[in-house]
């Protein structure tokens, strides 16, 4: 019993210190170093990206993997991600213009989130990076662990605010003075996050993603009906309303990726964990069949906007997302149409498409998929071919916002 208790205390201390270091790093990178490294903006971007990738990865990996292995894996993942961020920033004269596009941090977060389950599967006991059961379980477990931990951090801050208000009634402001220190919100949040993750790991037998998955499965029939009504009404409403606004593509893409997520949650990690022939089974089949239609409509919406107004960096990204959604849709529908064993085929497709998605997102940080360069080249080509006049060129965006 003493050995178990010592292990629990050691785990809490280790993750608490790691969270504290994450908070300290965030404070230094956000509040202290920007002024001191004003003359070295790309180095500051590299260090900030390194911290932003390393500490979340280390906290996420420390539960499923041994501590030392988790730290090494987090470092090996964070270094190339930070390098990609710094490399991509060279497209712009300054780092501020690069970050103002809104894409870099989202891309970094996507690469980090997609890579973590593969690291756990590859470095865990089975050493099989494409083991779908591990990938599925650990992906959702990361979501549940961090959701529970951040909920605890929010509760801690709520208690602190109430405690400060209560003590303020008798003229004691020690909590307020402590919290007014610039570094304290970062340090306290990091410490509490690490401690909460340690407690979640201790209760791994009781804390599982099953609750979240069951709730998502409740949405399957609802989303299927909504999509069916949408597709049934589309011929009567006409396509002009659908493709008249670029936001239609965003809605369709969100619905396509959301539907793919629901199908995956319904299929679970293996055939042994779900019952064929039930409502969830049929909803997964039918939603998988209509998924390529949603993705194709999203792609057409993007293509029509490009044909009308030319490429922009946002449309390059949207086009890539539509291609990924179509890849998921064709894989899902093809798996169902191929007959028995379609669930296993979709699971294999999920692994392959996740790797493709990582490659595409990483490509946006390299010259291979430079959205700004592609947009400028397309706009200039439209002008040189005589398809548009000079007044249609957005010279301000081309010269000031696209690198």
- Residue with the bigger pLDDT between 8 and 34: it is 34
- Tell me what pLDDT residue 135 has: 96
- Tell me what pLDDT residue 236 has: 81
> Does 246 score more than 90 pLDDT?
no
At 296-343, the pLDDT tens digits run 999 998 998 888 888 889 999 999 999 999 999 999 999 999 999 999
For the segment 127-142, the average pLDDT, to the nearest whole number, is 93
In the chain, % of residues over pLDDT 90 = 70
Residue 48: pLDDT band with limits 50, 70, 90: very high
The region of weakest confidence among 70-84, 105-119, 227-241 is 227-241
Assign 3-state DSSP to the chain and report helix, strand, coil percentages, each to 5.
80, 0, 20
Question: Of 171, 202, 233, which marks where a domain is finished?
Answer: 202
Q: What is the Cα 382 distance to its own chain's centre? A: 34
Residue 394: pLDDT band with limits 50, 70, 90: low
In the chain, % of residues over pLDDT 70 = 93
Element (H or E) spanning 70, and its range? Answer: helix 67-89
- Tell me what pLDDT residue 136 has: 96
- Tell me what pLDDT residue 54 has: 98
Burial 131-147 (b: 16+ CB within 10 A, else e): bbbbbbbbbbbbebbbe
- Residue with the bigger pLDDT between 78 and 396: it is 78
> Does 64 score more than 70 pLDDT?
yes
Are residue 40 and residue 107 in the same domain, yes or no?
A: yes
- Tell me what pLDDT residue 203 has: 85
Would 258 be classed as within a structural domain? yes
Would 402 be classed as within a structural domain? no
Three-state secondary structure string covering 243-255 = CCCCHHHHHHHHH
- Tell me what pLDDT residue 346 has: 97
Q: CA 8, CA 13: separation in Å to the nearest integer?
A: 9
Would 238 be classed as within a structural domain? yes
For the segment 116-139, the average pLDDT, to the nearest whole number, is 93
Q: If you write DSSP's letter for every residue of 87-127 in order, what string do you get?
A: HHHTTSSSHHHHHHTS-HHHHHHHHHHHHHHHHHHHHSTT-
At 356-386, the pLDDT tens digits run 999 999 999 999 999 999 988 888 887 777 7
Task: Answer whether 74's CB lies under 8 Å from 54's CB.
Answer: yes
- Tell me what pLDDT residue 382 has: 79
- Quote the crossing angle between the two packed helices 247-267 and 210-237, to the nearest 10°: 140
Are residue 81 and residue 215 in the same domain, yes or no?
A: no
Domain count for the chain: 2
Q: How far is CA 293 from CA 220, 226, 395, in A?
A: 17, 14, 36
Q: If you write DSSP's letter for every residue of 290-316 in order, what string do you get?
A: HHHHHHHHHHHHHHHHHHHH---HHHH
Closest C-alpha among 137, 141, 135, 145 to residue 353? 135
Would 388 be classed as within a structural domain? no
Kindly report the average pLDDT of the chain as a whole number: 90
pTM of the model as a whole: 0.91
Are residue 248 and residue 198 in the same domain, yes or no?
A: no
Are residue 226 and residue 291 in the same domain, yes or no?
A: yes
Are residue 155 and residue 45 in the same domain, yes or no?
A: yes
Residue 102: pLDDT band with limits 50, 70, 90: confident
Neighbours of 309 (CB within 10 A): 15
Are residue 283 and residue 354 in the same domain, yes or no?
A: yes
- Tell me what pLDDT residue 399 has: 62
Would 245 be classed as within a structural domain? yes
For the segment 395-401, the average pLDDT, to the nearest whole number, is 64
For the segment 105-124, the average pLDDT, to the nearest whole number, is 96
The two tokens of residue 74 are 């987090």
| Residues 6+ away with beta carbon under 8 Å from 240 | none
The two tokens of residue 12 are 């809490």
- Tell me what pLDDT residue 161 has: 95
Neighbours of 57 (CB within 10 A): 24
Q: How far is CA 192 from CA 26, 66, 165, 208, in A?
A: 14, 21, 21, 21
Q: 344: domain range? A: 211-369
Are residue 279 and residue 215 in the same domain, yes or no?
A: yes
Question: Of 146, 168, 202, which marks where a domain is finished?
Answer: 202
For the chain, the first-to-last Cα distance in angstroms comes to: 61
Sign of CA dihedral 44, 45, 48, 53: negative
Question: Of 151, 175, 202, which marks where a domain is finished?
Answer: 202
> Does 291 score more than 90 pLDDT?
yes
| Residues 6+ away with beta carbon under 8 Å from 287 | 220, 223, 224, 227, 259, 262, 263
> Does 389 score more than 90 pLDDT?
no
Would 392 be classed as within a structural domain? no
Are residue 181 and residue 249 in the same domain, yes or no?
A: no
At 203-220, the pLDDT tens digits run 877 888 998 999 999 999
Q: CA 136, CA 271: separation in Å to the nearest integer?
A: 13
Task: Answer whether 110's CB lies under 8 Å from 320's CB.
Answer: no
Helices (H), 169-278: 174-179, 184-202, 210-237, 239-242, 247-267
At 68-98, the pLDDT tens digits run 999 999 999 999 999 999 999 999 988 998 9
The two tokens of residue 370 are 């430079």
Highest mean pLDDT among 174-183, 216-225, 388-397: 216-225
The region of weakest confidence among 30-34, 91-95, 210-214, 272-276 is 272-276
Residue 123: pLDDT band with limits 50, 70, 90: very high
At 143-200, the pLDDT tens digits run 999 999 999 999 999 999 999 999 999 989 999 999 899 999 999 999 999 999 999 9
Element (H or E) spanning 161, and its range? Answer: helix 132-168
Would 376 be classed as within a structural domain? no
> Does 244 score more than 60 pLDDT?
no
- Tell me what pLDDT residue 239 has: 65
> Does 243 score more than 70 pLDDT?
no
């Amino acid at each position: 019993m003493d050995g178990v208790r010592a292990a629990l205390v050691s785990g809490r201390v280790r993750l608490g210190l790691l969270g504290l270091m994450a908070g300290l790093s965030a404070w230094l990178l956000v509040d202290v170093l920007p002024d001191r490294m004003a003359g070295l903006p790309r180095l500051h971007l590299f260090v900030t990206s390194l911290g932003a990738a390393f500490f979340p990865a280390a906290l996420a990996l420390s539960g499923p993997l041994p501590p030392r292995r988790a730290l090494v894996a987090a470092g090996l993942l964070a270094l190339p991600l930070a390098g990609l961020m710094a490399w991509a920033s060279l497209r712009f004269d300054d780092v501020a213009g690069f970050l103002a596009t809104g894409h870099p941090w989202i891309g970094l977060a996507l690469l980090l989130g997609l890579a973590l389950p593969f690291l756990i599967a590859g470095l865990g006991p089975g050493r099989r990076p494409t083991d779908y059961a591990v990938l599925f379980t650990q992906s959702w477990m990361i979501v549940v662990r961090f959701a529970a931990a951040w909920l605890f951090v929010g509760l801690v801050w709520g208690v602190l605010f109430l405690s400060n208000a209560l003590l303020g009634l008798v003229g004691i402001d020690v909590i307020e003075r402590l919290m007014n220190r610039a570094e304290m919100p970062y340090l306290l949040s990091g410490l509490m996050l690490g401690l909460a993750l340690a407690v979640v790991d201790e209760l791994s037998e009781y804390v599982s993603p099953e609750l979240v998955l069951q709730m998502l499965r409740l949405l399957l029939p609802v989303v299927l009906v909504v999509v069916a009504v949408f597709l049934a009404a589309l011929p009567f409403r006409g396509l002009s309303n659908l493709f008249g606004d670029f936001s239609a593509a965003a809605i369709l893409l969100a619905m396509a990726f959301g539907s793919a997520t629901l199908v995956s949650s319904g299929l679970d990690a293996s055939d042994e964990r779900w019952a064929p022939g039930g409502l969830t089974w049929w909803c997964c089949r039918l939603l998988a069949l209509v998924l390529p239609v949603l993705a194709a409509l999203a792609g057409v919406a993007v293509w029509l906007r490009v044909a009308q107004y030319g490429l922009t960096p946002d449309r390059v990204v949207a086009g890539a997302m539509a291609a990924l959604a179509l890849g998921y849709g064709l894989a899902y529908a093809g798996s169902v149409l191929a007959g028995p064993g379609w669930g296993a085929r979709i699971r294999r497709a999920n692994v392959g498409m996740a790797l493709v998605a990582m490659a595409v997102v990483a490509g946006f940080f390299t010259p291979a998929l430079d959205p700004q360069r592609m947009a400028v080249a397309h706009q200039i080509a439209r002008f040189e071919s005589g398809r548009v006049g000079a007044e249609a060129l957005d010279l301000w965006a081309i010269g000031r916002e696209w690198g």
